């Protein structure tokens, strides 16, 4: 969160090639508690932003070399600066000038000669709006994954789902009930938090999202809400990284004199219905369908065959020859009417996936 936006010490970059205009704006804004940085050209403005991102940009249109439109376009095309509010301040009062400014992403347009109070009111308004937007993003990202937060911010919230092709992954800790009997509740919660931190990092590094954690188990989705054509490959790579993370986790546990763990992972690919499930007051991003059930059953089946990572035939078909696999044949998984082609992923004892 940008704390400057919660006070009058917001950092405002003022861009104008006319020294007299700069002096007036610097004096006006400084007297009202703003930190003001002047830039007499478009090029210097971009350099100033690169050096330190301002909270807002007051931008002249007509400048030699690089005009305000180009400066705004460059700011809005950069992921690092596109959210900075830009207010145009120009003598050009034609409708087309204003339309172009707003089309480029400006939040406001003030016509010269300006009234001091108008500039101050509009400045305060857009700084407040920007602060609220930052707070909203922070709340979204605190209670949802980054991908889901971005999806909500870009498309808004609506209950319901859509059919997408994706890969789902289920994982849980082996013999977790036995582990809970040997440790205190406080230690168990601490262990789980550390474990999930490792798992979520591994999954996130491959573009997956963890949408469900129940007890010691988790479910992850690859390919939604962010589309990835190679979602199957990403899921298997994530599984291998999870296995590597378990090795590190166990080293940490051993150093603390605690029990070590092993996990099982099931992966399946296919069509799912993905979207927001619940009510207007409480909802979560998830997916449902036969593919989800298959990955859950595969995870359970890892216990029977003694293989930590199992995938279905659809996932196998999407992988090529990147991963060493062993065919387990056609398997009648619990709850499935038709047999499923199953493969195990070969796990190297000193596994490391870059």
Residue pair 328/305 in contact (Cβ under 8 Å)? The answer is yes
pLDDT of 147? 60
pLDDT band, residue 2 (cuts 50/70/90) = very low
Instruction: Locate 326 and state its tokens.
Output: 């062993």
Beta-strand relationship, 35-39 and 11-15: parallel
Instruction: Count the Cβ atoms, other than its own, within 10 Å of residue 349.
Output: 5
* pTM of the entire predicted model: 0.59
Q: What is the pLDDT of residue 153?
A: 52
The token pair that represents 201 in the structure block: 């990092």
Residue 100: Cβ within 10 Å count: 17
Does domain 157-345 match CATH 2.70.150.10? no
Please check the confidence at residue 322 and state whether its pLDDT lies above 70.
yes
CATH top-level class of 3-143: alpha beta
Residue 353's pLDDT is 46
pLDDT at 4: 43
pLDDT tops 80 at residue 244:
yes
User: What average pLDDT does this structure show over 123-136?
Assistant: 82
Average per-residue pLDDT in the chain? 86
* pLDDT 10s digits, 4-19: 444 458 999 999 999 9
Most confident of 55-69, 87-101, 272-286: 55-69
**Sign of torsion, CA 180 182 185 188?**
negative
pLDDT of residue 50: 94
Q: Which uninterrupted H or E stretch holds 30?
A: helix 19-31
Average pLDDT over residues 324-350: 87
What is the predicted pLDDT for the residue at 28? 94
269-286 pLDDT, tens per residue?
Answer: 999 988 766 665 555 667
Supply the pLDDT for residue 157.
Answer: 45
The pLDDT of residue 239 is above 80: yes
The predicted-structure confidence for 177-186, as pLDDT tens digits, reads as follows: 888 888 888 8
Those residues whose C-beta lies under 8 Å from the C-beta of residue 299, and which sit 6 or more positions away, are 170, 171, 172, 217, 264, 265, 266, 310
Confidence of residue 47 (pLDDT cuts 50, 70, 90): very high
Structure tokens at 324: 């060493």
> Could you tell me if 294 and 332 are in contact, meaning their C-beta atoms sit under 8 angstroms apart?
no
Q: Domain coordinates of the chain in residue numbers?
A: 3-143, 157-345
Residue 254 tokens read as 């051993």
User: Does the pLDDT of residue 56 top 70, yes or no?
Assistant: yes
| Residue 352 confidence class, pLDDT cut points 50, 70, 90 | very low
CA distances from 328 to 170, 302, 351 (A): 19, 11, 22
Q: In angstroms, rounded to a whole number, what is the distance separating the alpha carbons of residues 81 and 74?
A: 9
Q: How confident is the model at residue 203 (pLDDT cuts 50, 70, 90)?
A: very high
pLDDT band per the 50, 70, 90 thresholds, residue 162: confident
């Amino acid at each position: 969160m940008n704390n400057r936006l919660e006070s009058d010490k917001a950092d405002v970059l003022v861009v104008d090639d006319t020294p007299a205009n700069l002096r007036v704006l610097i004096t006006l804004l400084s007297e009202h508690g703003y930190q003001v940085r002047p830039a007499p050209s478009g090029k210097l403005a971009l350099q100033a932003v690169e050096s330190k991102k301002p909270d807002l940009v007051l931008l002249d249109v007509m400048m030699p070399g690089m005009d305000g439109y180009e400066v705004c376009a460059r700011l809005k095309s950069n992921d690092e600066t596109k959210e900075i509010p830009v207010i145009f301040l120009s003598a050009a009062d034609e409708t087309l000038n204003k339309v172009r400014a707003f089309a480029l992403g400006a939040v406001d347009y003030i016509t010269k000669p300006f009234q001091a109070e108008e500039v101050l009111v509009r400045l305060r308004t857009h700084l407040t709006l920007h602060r609220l937007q930052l707070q909203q993003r922070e709340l979204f990202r605190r209670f949802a994954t980054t991908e889901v937060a971005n999806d909500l911010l870009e498309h808004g919230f609506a209950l319901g789902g859509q059919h997408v092709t994706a890969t789902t992954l289920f994982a849980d800790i082996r013999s977790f009930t036995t582990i809970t009997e040997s440790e205190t509740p406080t230690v168990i919660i601490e262990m789980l938090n550390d474990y999930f931190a490792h798992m979520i990092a591994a999954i996130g590094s491959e573009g997956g999202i963890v949408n469900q954690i129940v007890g010691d188990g988790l479910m992850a989705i690859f390919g939604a809400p962010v589309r990835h054509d190679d979602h199957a490959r990403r899921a298997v790579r994530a599984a291998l990284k999870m296995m590597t993370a378990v090795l590190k986790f166990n080293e940490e546990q051993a150093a603390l004199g605690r029990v070590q763990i092993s996990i099982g992972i099931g992966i399946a690919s296919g069509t799912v219905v993905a979207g927001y499930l619940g009510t207007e007051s409480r909802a979560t991003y998830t997916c449902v369908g036969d593919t989800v059930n298959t990955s859950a059953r595969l995870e359970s089946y890892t216990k029977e065959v003694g293989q930590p990572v199992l995938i279905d035939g659809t996932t196998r078909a999407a992988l090529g020859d990147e991963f060493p696999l062993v065919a387990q044949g056609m398997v009648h998984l619990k709850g499935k009417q038709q047999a499923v082609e199953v493969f195990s992923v070969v796990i190297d004892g000193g596994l490391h996936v870059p």
